[in-house]
């Protein structure tokens, strides 16, 4: 399947600087949010296929920009685009869908807690396994828990 000019331009955003890439992504996602659901899913399917066929390093750069863009967008628009990505992935091979899951979870684990919370609202199915809170000190919760009562074992009598 030949890529359209728009899809080539989309993945071509990788050559842009981060600020410019996010700005162009935001404009494109805002445009997509204004389309009918059917048209939005169709266009996002082509975009998602091209994104997830990138090599691993490029996919992570692109995914980080996409997630940061969604975080900065109007909630309703970001949610409609995120739902379109969910629907699009149902039409793509499982290997690409799993690449999406891996990329999103890898990027999310390095984000600030507030950003992860925002992404959890947009992508709950992809972030279920990611912790939603950062543990700052190990051992403090253990010290506060009362120790369980020790049960004494009954002796068994052998005859």
In 3D, which of 77, 75, 98, 62 has the Cα closest to residue 28?
77
C-alpha neighbours within 13 Å on the C-beta side of residue 15: 5
Instruction: Look at the pTM and tell me if it is higher than 0.85.
Output: no
| Arithmetic mean of pLDDT, 75-87 | 91
pLDDT at residue 106 greater than cutoff 60: yes
In 3D, which of 117, 105, 2, 103 has the Cα closest to residue 51?
103
pLDDT at residue 1 greater than cutoff 70: no
Hey, which of 23-27, 87-91, 106-110 has the most confident mean pLDDT?
23-27
Average pLDDT, the chain: 81
d(CA 79, CA 115): 15
Sequence-distant (≥ 6) Cβ neighbours of residue 121 within 8 angstroms: 75, 79
pLDDT of residue 101: 82
**Which tens digits make up the pLDDT trace of 129-154?**
444 444 444 444 444 555 566 666 66
Higher-pLDDT residue of 117, 2: 117
């Amino acid at each position: 399947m030949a890529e359209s000019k728009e899809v080539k331009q989309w993945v071509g955003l990788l050559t842009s600087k981060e600020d410019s890439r996010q700005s162009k992504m935001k404009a494109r996602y805002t445009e997509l949010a204004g389309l009918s659901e059917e048209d939005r899913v169709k266009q996002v399917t082509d975009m998602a296929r091209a994104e997830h066929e990138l090599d691993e390093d490029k996919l992570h750069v692109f995914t980080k920009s996409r997630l940061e863009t969604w975080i900065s967008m109007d909630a309703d628009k970001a949610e409609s685009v995120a739902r379109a990505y969910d629907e699009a992935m149902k039409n793509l091979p499982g290997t690409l869908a799993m690449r999406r899951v891996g990329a999103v979870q890898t990027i999310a684990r390095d984000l600030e807690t507030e950003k992860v919370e925002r992404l959890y609202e947009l992508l709950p199915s992809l972030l279920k396994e990611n912790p939603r809170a950062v543990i700052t000190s190990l051992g403090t919760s253990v010290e506060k828990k009362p120790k369980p009562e020790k049960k004494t074992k009954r002796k068994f009598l052998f005859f």
